[in-house]
Amino acid sequence: MVKFNEALLDRTFAALSDPTRRALLARLSETELSVSELAEPFAMSLPAVMKHLDVLAGAGLITRSKNGRTVACRLCAGPMEEAMAWLGRYERFWAKSLDRLAAFVEEDEAPRASKPARRVAALSTPGPRRSSPSRGKRRGS
């Protein structure tokens, strides 16, 4: 059994839980960007973006390098690889479960396909007329 670093996994999944941080990572997946370039499309202050970057750096998902006054960020794959390996263990379980569910649904749909035809036949066949018992005298009779 593979042993995972629980603290690292906790930090990775906590960092990935925020949509802004996921968007920042998506932008970094293409290329290295400066902090100001990363912050550009977001409707938030630069300090708010920096806080998100601190969380990502703390989880080991990004690295920062400084060149003069410019701080550049780069995606770091290590923690994501460990998270993917952890998820992979459960993927096998869910794949089997979902395959069984799909087979069950397909099995269940086959009898349902013939039910509407039976219903239509039952509705179109004239049967005995039922009359409701009269409740008192009718007007005009």
CATH code for the part of the protein at 1-110: 1.10.10.10
Read off the pLDDT of each residue in 97-123 and give the average, rounded to a whole number. 66
For residues 43, 45, 50, 52, the Cα torsion angle rounded to the nearest 10 degrees is -40
Q: Does 98 have pLDDT greater than 60?
A: yes
pTM of this structure: 0.61
In 1-141, alpha helices (H): 6-16, 19-28, 35-39, 46-58, 78-124
Question: For all residues of the chain together, what is the average pLDDT?
Answer: 80
Please report, for the chain, the start and end positions of each structural domain, with discontinuous segments joined by +. Answer: 1-110
116 by DSSP, 3-state: which?
A: helix
φ/ψ of 32, rounded to 5, equals: -75, 135
Any bridge partners for residue 63, and if so which? 74
